[in-house]
Structures are given as C-alpha cells and as structure tokens.
Chain A
C-alpha cells in the first residue's frame, strides 16, 4: 500500500467513528427506502369513500322534538360564511324553537358531509367568521347530552362567540368522523388516518344562534347546544353510515 493510501485510509477511519458511521447508515437507508415504503403502504391501505344512508339534503327538521323550520323571511340572519361548503351533501336550514314566534329562538343548522379521503377537513367557525368581518370574543367548550341510543351519552362541543356588525353569533360545533366526535380539525385528520376502518366519512355539524349586541350570549349558546343535542342523534340514526359498513371495502372498489 502506498503512503498516500495509508494516510487516506487513516483519515477515513478517524472520520468514521462507530456513532457517526451508524447514524450516517441509518439516514442513508431512510433516504433510499422511506418514500417508496410510505407510498406502498398508502396505496395498500388506502381507504375508500362511503355515501350517507340518506342524503343530508333530505334532512327533516320535523323529526326534531324542540325545533321547527323557521319562516323564510328572516331579516335577522346574515348569509352563512360557509354557503360554499365544498360538498353537495350538506344541510343549511333556519330552524326555530317550537314555542317561539317571529325571529325569536332562531338557529341556523349547518351540516356538511365529506367522504373522499382526500377532502380537506373544513374550516372552523372561529377561523372563517373572521373572513366576513366577525371578531372572535370567546372560544370554549361545553358538553351536550345526547340521550339513550347507540352513541355516546355525552359529547363535547366547541363554542365560539363572534361579534358582528348586525348581530352577534353564538356558535356550537362538533366534527363527526366515522361515528366518533371531535372538536379539533387535527383530531379529525388523525381519526381518518387511524388504521382499522376500510371506508371513511367525516362531517361538521354547526349551530349558529344570533343575539343582539347588548344581550348576554348565554341563552343563544344554550339554544345552539340544545339543537346539537337533538340533531346529532338524528344524523346518526338516519343519515350517517352504520359502523359495520365502515369495516369492509365497497364491492369492486379499487385499492
């Protein structure tokens, strides 16, 4: 071996300590194998979409014990910021407490349903109301009771108070992904990725109750939460897919 080679081998040996060599090898293997492995896993375990049992456009407010459809002329209500929901399967209805008249006791019900695994989880009210001039004054959470049935007895929902020019808004919302309830977008994304189910759907259920600028938001928020407590069982019973149907792929669905 020539002296130059000896010097070069010595330098490389000094450079490649066991720790450095092992770490470099780990990174090298990861650099080569990570992308193809993740792509293969994604393709193999890709989830497919599932339609609702009954389209949300057929949502019937008459089935709700405490609410009815509001009269069409409702000067109190602004257009909803999410009118363009990014899905055809949605409900946007103005409801009213059964014992209320005029514009009293009104709530907007807004439900969107998505089943393409590549669909974006929709924006939350605290983000999108700001785009139409709202100022978010409070963000919190409440528990609503869903009563007896094949669903959780209690569900945590997120509450938002938005100050607006005409009337303030008390908003309560919750996400439902494959039959489970979440209050944050990232939780929904994690739920959609969770291995197990072969098919996915997710939905955002939102109730918006207006109140005058000089009023306290408590009554309006209680009304919004009450609507959610009645709407969620109705959606799970009639519209959203059954849990058993999520466990296997649709016949003929491509992987």
Chain B
C-alpha cells in the first residue's frame, strides 16, 4: 500500500466515523423529542395548569421562557453533548417510572401540586439518561435546574418560604431608603409607607407571593448565563457559590428601584409600571454581574495557567 492509498483510507475512515457520529446525534435527538412529547402527554394535566398559571400570574411568567432557554442552552452546549454521547442507561427508565409513580401519588391520594410539578425534572433527567447515558445527564444539569425554577410554586408554599428572606430584604431596603435626604420610611406588612418632602405615600411591594417571585426569575437568568458556555468545573462551582448573594442583591435592588420610582413619580401604591421597570432593570443588572464575573474568571484562568490548552478550552 502506498502513501496515497493510506491517506485515502484514513480520510474514508474519518468520514465514516463522522457519519456514525452524526447518525448517533440525530438518533439521540429524535429519541429525546419523542420521549419529551410522551412525557408532556402523560403529565398533560399539570402542563395545562402550569401554562395557565404562567400566562396569568406575572410572578410565574418567566416559566413561559423555559422552552426557548432550554433550546438555546442545548444549542450553546451542542459540542459537549455530542462528544459525551454514550449508550443509554436503564437507570433512565427507572427514573421515569419513579416520576410517573410520584406523579400518580401526588394526584391521588396526596395532592401536592408543587411536588407533582417537580416530576417534570425527574422525568427529564430520566430522558437524558435513556438517550445519552450518565455524562449527558451531568451535562443537562443546568437544564434540569432551569426546569425546576420555571415551575410555579403554590401561593401558600411560596408565602411560607419567602417570609424570612423577604422580611430581611424589606428591612434592608427600609434602612437604605431612610438614608436618603427628606425621606422617612416605615414598614407595614409588605408595604413601605413613606413621607418624602412632605408628601405621604405607599409603595405596595405586593403580597408575599410577588415579593419572592423575582428571585426565581433572577436565578433563572443566573443559571442560564453561567451555563450558556463551556467553562471548567471550578469556575461553575465559584459562580454557583456566589449565586445566592447575587440573586439576593438583585432582589434588593429591585425593591429599592421600585420604591424610588414610585416615590419620585408619585405613582399609586400598586401601579404596575414602577414594579415592571424595576424588575427589568434588576434582571439586566444580574445579567451584567454574572457576565462580568465570567470575564474575570476567564482572565484569571489564562494568566495563572499560561497553557495553550487553556486558551483552546476557552475558545471552544
């Protein structure tokens, strides 16, 4: 065999290998789509309820963005997913059986809406295992977290969970607002009563449910930005550790902006515009903070490592 034949053979093998990879990717994609559709059909009652809740409750509206975020996240991580694609695991089928059983039990006799909704996460984890094995499940972790964050939590559960962090947020906002000139603010329930330059008014921060809804939206943005690109595990770990303070500060910023916009525009206590503008600005701020943190981490990594593989990893 001469060198030309050997080269042709190698090229043919590479083509065949590439063809097999593409075929495996396509097969995995079709299998995942079929299983997701079957899951949605099985849990159709909860799908209908969740979509209705997300469409009518502003505090759950970020859930509507889940499909788009999921597709974008998968697209951003496609190279990793393709590389880690393995034979499916039977544990996926076990997880799906568990999800179906848990869904059944929380339908009757123990109707617990939120636990029922969380079975989407269990089922999607099972699908990842069935389609691509354990490494794909690991890679799909952020997607599962986003799915969990998108599930609307019942009003009472939400209120109970939110009391402590919300009270802390409002107490801090109260102290910050009282530092402003000509401003006297006191907290009453979930409302801030203020006197500013002789004008009295109320900032309706909303009931308990509205108060902590924003952190879920902020956390969704955080998770999406953190995992929308491939980064070393230590970077992801650092970003996840600082997630809680960043989200808490984002929420505090939202409350402060809401209060300031209401006071300075003379808006009514429960007017939507100041609330919505404050939410959008706090989402943008959270996005910028995560993006800045990512850039800082990337630069630290390159400077300390000084290795060509590092640059390759980051470029990829």
Contact = CB atoms under 8 A, between A and B. Distances in A.
Given A34-B100, A126-B160, A186-B157, A24 B34 contact: yes
Interface residues of B, number: 47
A19 B163 contact: no
B38 interface: yes
A194 B39 contact: no
A30 interface: yes
Nearest to B115: A186
Interface stretch (A89-97, A104-112, A129-137): A129-137
A185 interface: yes
A219 interface: no
Interface stretch (B63-71, B90-98, B277-285): B90-98
A27 B42 contact: yes
Contact of A30 (B42, B126, B189): B42
Contacts of A42: 108-109
Contact of A130 (B30, B38, B88, B190): B190
Interface size range on A against B = 35 or more
A35 to B, nearest CB: 7
B4 interface: no
Contacts of B188: 133, 135, 165
Contacts of A14: 23, 27
Given A23-B96, A30-B100, A193-B111, A127 B159 contact: yes
A185 B156 contact: yes
B208 interface: yes
Contacts of B163: 126-127, 130, 136, 139
B103 interface: yes
B110 A189 contact: yes
Contacts of A19: 88-90, 92-93, 130
A45 B107 CA distance: 13
Interface string B1-30: 000000000000000000000010001001
A135 B88 contact: no
A135 B166 CA distance: 10
B35 A24 contact: yes
A124 interface: yes
A41 interface: yes
Contact of A131 (B42, B127, B189): B189
Contact of B38 (A15, A24, A35): A24
B107 A38 contact: yes
Interface string A15-34: 10101101110111011001
B191 interface: yes
A15 B30 contact: yes
A127 B38 contact: no
Nearest to A139: B163
A252 interface: no
Contacts of A31: 38, 41-42, 44
Interface string A160-186: 000001000000000000000000011
A133 B191 contact: yes
B271 interface: no
Is the contact region of chain A dominated by helix, strand, or loop, or is it mixed?
helix
Given A34-B42, A130-B189, A136-B163, A20 B131 contact: yes
A129 B109 CA distance: 31
Given A20-B131, A31-B42, A127-B159, A45 B88 contact: no
B207 interface: yes
Contact of A45 (B27, B109, B160): B109
Contact of B208 (A130, A139, A193): A130
A123 B189 contact: no
A15 B41 contact: no
Contacts of B109: 41-42, 45, 193-195
Contacts of A134: 189
Contacts of B39: 27
A60 B266 CA distance: 52
A1 B134 CA distance: 39
Given A20-B130, A127-B208, A26 B107 contact: no
8 contacts: A19-B93, A34-B107, A37-B104, A129-B189, A190-B112, A193-B108, A193-B109, A193-B110
Interface of A: 14-15, 17, 19-20, 22-24, 26-28, 30-31, 34-35, 37-38, 41-42, 45, 123-124, 126-127, 129-137, 139, 165, 185-186, 189-190, 193-195
Given A24-B34, A27-B42, A126-B163, 5 more contacts: A20-B130, A31-B38, A127-B159, A130-B159, A190-B110
- Name the 8 nearest CB pairs between A and B, nearest first: A193-B109, A27-B38, A133-B189, A31-B42, A193-B110, A19-B88, A133-B188, A127-B159
Interface of B: 23, 27, 30-31, 34-35, 38-39, 41-42, 44-45, 88-90, 92-93, 96-97, 100, 103-104, 107-112, 126-127, 130-131, 156-157, 159-160, 163-164, 167, 170, 187-191, 207-208
